[in-house]
Amino acid sequence: MLSLIKKSLIWIVSGTASIILTACYGPPTDPACFVQLKTVDPNNDPIPGLAVSRAEYGQDSYTSSDGIAYLDGACHADIVVTITDVDGAENGSFLTKTVGLSELNVDEQGVYVVVMEWDGTPVTDGPGLPDAN
């Protein structure tokens, strides 16, 4: 009888702990399940410093110096992301873009490519900036 009570208590405690962890941190995701997304300007130059958000998770990822952002737990192409220029004119000024991954081209490495549009802010020549011609 004592063994049955002990097993029941262990089951209840471990189940409660799992529910609490899931509620606090969300369901576990497959670490091998991620998407690479590359942001480029109309000249095909990479854009660093953009925030990439997934509305369903509320998470932000930021593009690195090579314009790449990694989205964990993204195993399917029906994900919608919003890309926002958060560094101002530092790397050029770009319009916010919301796009589904299924709408994007994929390069030879399997990276989703997003071509961003400049927001019309006057800039001078430089890497990642529109030509002043």
* Per-residue pLDDT of the chain in tens (133 residues, 90 and over written 9): 667 676 666 767 666 555 554 555 555 545 567 889 999 999 999 999 999 998 777 667 899 999 999 987 766 667 889 999 988 788 888 999 999 888 888 888 889 999 999 987 755 555 555 554 4
Tell me the domain boundaries of the chain.
1-28, 34-115
Give me the residue label for tokens 């900036």. 129
Sign of CA dihedral 34, 35, 36, 38: negative
Q: What is the CA radius of gyration of the chain?
A: 21
pTM, rounded to two decimals: 0.65
Per-residue DSSP letters for 9-37? HHHHHHHHHHHHHHHHH-S---TT-EEEE
Nearest to 112 by CA among 38, 7, 10: 38
CATH code for residues 34-115: 2.60.40
> How many C-beta atoms surround the C-beta of residue 127 within 10 A?
10
